[in-house]
Amino acid sequence: MTVIEYIRTILVSLFIGFTLMSCDDTPKTGDTPINNNNNKPDGNSVPTYTIIYYASGGGAIDAAAGRGLDFAIEKSIEYFLDKRKLDKNVKFTACIKWSKGYEGKYAYGDGGTYRFFIDKENDGHNFELVGDNSYPINEPENIAEFIRWSKEVAPADEYIVVFSGHGNGWHPEVGINDTIEHTRGIMRDTDTGRYISCEELYEGLRLADTHFRMIFLGSCLMNTIEYVAALSQYSDYILASSHISIMFTTELNYLAHMLERELKDGSDEAFTEGIYGYLYQDINTTISNTDYVYDRIDFMLTDCRKVDAVVNATKVFTDTIIALYDEEESIGEEAFKTKYGATIAEMEMAMAESYYFLGYFLDDSEIYESEYLRQSFTYDLGDIAKRASSALNSTKLKESYEALHAASTESQAVCYATTLVNKKELHHSVTFTNAEKWEERNYDESGYEESLFDQRTGWSRLLKRNNVPLKF
């Protein structure tokens, strides 16, 4: 064999070896895929997106939403129904439960649940009937089936799922066991008298077996750490509001425009910059131009890959503050105050001033007069920890707050708040009550302690024990 033939043989062998290696898609030990989309683009390519829109009108006559959420949904889909406005890299699917009695361009007063899809070739005007007014939008299998159908008819590199309707965060009466009208959850369905609970949504996404680029919870009071902790494993990002959301903030034409034209590649940097522009330019401009001013509007884009650190830090803070409760009981108030400069009761008074999330144009008298609104409070998790740690001269408590604040800040890919919120920094909201309200509202029977967040942090230990004089 000549030298040339020998080199040729070596090169052929190397080529065959590399070819075989490139065909082996099996993840190696220790690999953790970002998601389970087989066609996920690399960071330098421009990905295709499908926006999956699951929406409920929640009642045709709805003073709280102006002309009603049905009208808002109609405005949200109009952009997509004109397929000429769609670029080739964005598709759209929708499953909408129209309110009975609502008459619009695509709803004729009889309600019902319809689905359709739109891309550059399909205009989507032939709405497919999924079910009548009794169709349960909260059923996990129905949520999962729509997502699976969306992937079949509108396959893409990345999926963004949007849930839109009346939302009220986490509530003891909308927990593991049941969901009922006028309490907290996501996407109110007046026909069945149900909301989708956190647990039902979690199960629906589990059954869908899909990892999303972003979950957009386009309803009020959705940015609770209970939701984020439960749903973060199914997405790279979660976009949600801790305050009252309003119908024009869920119009999706700006989001589609950002995905179509402003994203230069599929990197995290490009995506977060795009969402930043979507919020601070498009949504902010819409808010500024409206003649009806809302005084508390926020959105937070959470990096789901950094949620574990927030949950872990919350557990350390909870462990630390519970140990302080135990210590005061053991040594007495006087000795405790000598050691830490304040009593637990004084710390609780400081915690009572923590920032809480509520709706627009509400003063204290309106809050006190409304049982519904009193049931709708969540508090700023970081602010609770900050005020508790500031009240006591405890090094461990201060360190636990600082770690929680750092983890929370790190998890926020984008944090948008209108200037009228009048607060420079926001954290995730969290259920906050005291021992009296815990018992009064039957939290023990609600399943809060079965929530993923509470299982990992033991947050309910504080809720069952503190005597913070809440403002509701």
Q: Give the residue numbers spanning the domain of 118.
A: 49-219+247-293
In this structure, are 285 and 324 located in the same domain? no
Handedness of CA 231, 220, 442, 325 (dihedral sign): positive
In this structure, are 71 and 120 located in the same domain? yes
In this structure, are 91 and 122 located in the same domain? yes
Find the distance separating the first CA and the last CA of the chain, reported in whole Å: 91
Q: What is the pLDDT of residues 423-444, one digit of tens each?
A: 678 899 999 989 998 888 778 8
CB neighbourhood size of 393 (10 A)? 12
* Position 314 pLDDT exceeds 70: yes
Residue 167 lies in a domain: yes
Q: Between the ranges 131-145, 237-251, 325-339, where is the mean pLDDT highest?
A: 325-339
Residue 6 lies in a domain: no
Lowest mean pLDDT among 50-54, 63-67, 223-227, 463-467: 63-67
Burial of 339 from C-beta contacts in 10 A (0-12 / 13-18 / 19+): middle
Residue 8's φ and ψ, nearest 5 degrees, are -60, -40
Confidence at 5, pLDDT banded by 50, 70, 90? very low
Q: Assess contact for 187 and 137: CB atoms under 8 A.
A: yes
In this structure, are 144 and 207 located in the same domain? yes
Residue 181 lies in a domain: yes
In this structure, are 278 and 374 located in the same domain? no
In this structure, are 136 and 210 located in the same domain? yes
DSSP 385-408: HHHHHHHS--HHHHHHHHHHHHHH
Question: Where a domain ends, among 230, 259, 293?
Answer: 293
In this structure, are 328 and 434 located in the same domain? yes
Apex 371 CA angle, 366 and 375, nearest 5:
105
| Nearby residues of 323 by Cβ (< 8 Å), 6 or more positions away | 396
* Position 410 pLDDT exceeds 90: yes
In this structure, are 289 and 149 located in the same domain? yes
Q: How many residues does the chain have?
A: 472
Element (H, E) at 232: none
d(CA 260, CA 87): 6
Confidence at 36, pLDDT banded by 50, 70, 90? very low
Residue 368 lies in a domain: yes
d(CA 451, CA 440): 19
CB neighbour burial string for 149-178, b if at least 16 within 10 angstroms, e if fewer = bbbeebebbbbbbbbbbbbbbbbbbbbeee
Question: Where a domain ends, among 267, 293, 319?
Answer: 293
Q: SS3 for 239-308, per residue?
A: EECCCCCCHHHHCCHHHHHHHHHHCCCCCHHHHHHHHHHHHHHHHHHHHHHCCCCCCCCEEEEEEHHHHH
d(CA 121, CA 91): 10
- Average pLDDT value over all residues in the chain: 80
CB neighbourhood size of 373 (10 A)? 15
Residue 126 lies in a domain: yes
DSSP 142-172: HHHHHHHHHHHHS--SEEEEEEES-B---BT
Q: What is the pLDDT of residues 353-399, one digit of tens each?
A: 998 876 544 555 544 444 444 455 689 999 999 999 999 999 999 99
Beta bridge partners of 379: 356, 430
d(CA 42, CA 371): 51
Element (H, E) at 433: none
Question: Where a domain ends, among 293, 322, 354?
Answer: 293
In this structure, are 269 and 389 located in the same domain? no
Quote the pTM value: 0.85
Q: Assess contact for 140 and 200: CB atoms under 8 A.
A: yes
Residue 153 lies in a domain: yes
In this structure, are 268 and 192 located in the same domain? yes
In this structure, are 263 and 328 located in the same domain? no
Residue 23 lies in a domain: no
Element (H, E) at 36: none
Q: What is the pLDDT of residues 224-279, one digit of tens each?
A: 999 999 999 999 999 998 877 665 555 788 898 889 877 888 899 999 999 999 88
Residue 65 lies in a domain: yes
Q: Assess contact for 140 and 204: CB atoms under 8 A.
A: yes
Residue of 346, 350, 415, 420 lying closest to 383 (CA atoms)? 350
Query: What is the tally of structural domains in the chain?
Result: 2
CB neighbourhood size of 77 (10 A)? 22
In this structure, are 287 and 330 located in the same domain? no
